[in-house]
Structure 1
């Protein structure tokens, strides 16, 4: 599954140099991840479980700048499944120019709130992620 979320660059996204501040891209990617989860999960039941999914690593590469008024598309999908971790690829593309603005790999860990420790992913979640990854190959 590939989610595509569009964001228009506003004035408050800009820095002193009049292009999108690098910290804003993290916010854009977070918006893309939440939109992905809205589609990926059947309901908000996953938020009521004993499990949480903290981000433990973001590896981000800035490729080109974005400016006021640009329309950006945040593309989000799973790429790798581990025993206790899952990695997503996020790409931000300038819709008008097709330029890649940002590429990032975001890694989550499955944590039990009760145990306060990383645990293996539940089988149903693992199967759904693996199907999602396979559908993009």
Structure 2
């Protein structure tokens, strides 16, 4: 796998991330994953520029998450984000959250998104300049 196609986002678990059982609340993982996706696009400003010029937005339409082990206060986590699949009407990002100290998988997720034409408020095909910009980023 070409590691340059993946973004790794560090996050330290803080007390406010925890639930009453002393581990990260399940809803917080969604925030961690979103942070990883923002970081992914921040690291690829040329892609974000194509998106802006195209007048579309990435809109999540499905999220599947598997919780593998608990993360606790003080854990340093790494959110690994990559574009895993590019279809004609949607794309899928895969994300793994790992504990930095031992590389153990804490959680994994697949997020499917569509391109929304912001002006028309409807999904549009992944084509043209945007498809050309995204295709080389696919990392299966």
Q: TM-score by structure 1 length? A: 0.92
Moved over 6 A (4+): none
Match in the other structure for 2:35:
31
**Structure 1 residue 97 and structure 2 residue 133: aligned?**
no
Match in the other structure for 1:125:
130
Report the number of matched residues.
135
Q: CA deviation at 1:97?
A: 2.0
**Structure 1 residue 10 and structure 2 residue 14: aligned?**
yes
Q: CA deviation at 1:113?
A: 1.4
Root-mean-square deviation (Å): 1.5
Give the alignment of 1:79-118 within 5 angstroms. 79-118=84-123
Cα deviation code 1:55-112 (max 9, x no counterpart): 0000000001100000000000001111121100000000012110000000110111
Gaps of 5+ in 1: none
**Structure 1 residue 68 and structure 2 residue 57: aligned?**
no
* Equivalent-residue separation in structure 1 for 2:26 and 2:16 (angstroms): 13
Cα deviation code 1:10-33 (max 9, x no counterpart): 000000000000100000000000
Does the residue aligned with 1:106 lie in a helix, a strand or coil?
A: strand
1:21 corresponds, among 17, 20, 25, to 25
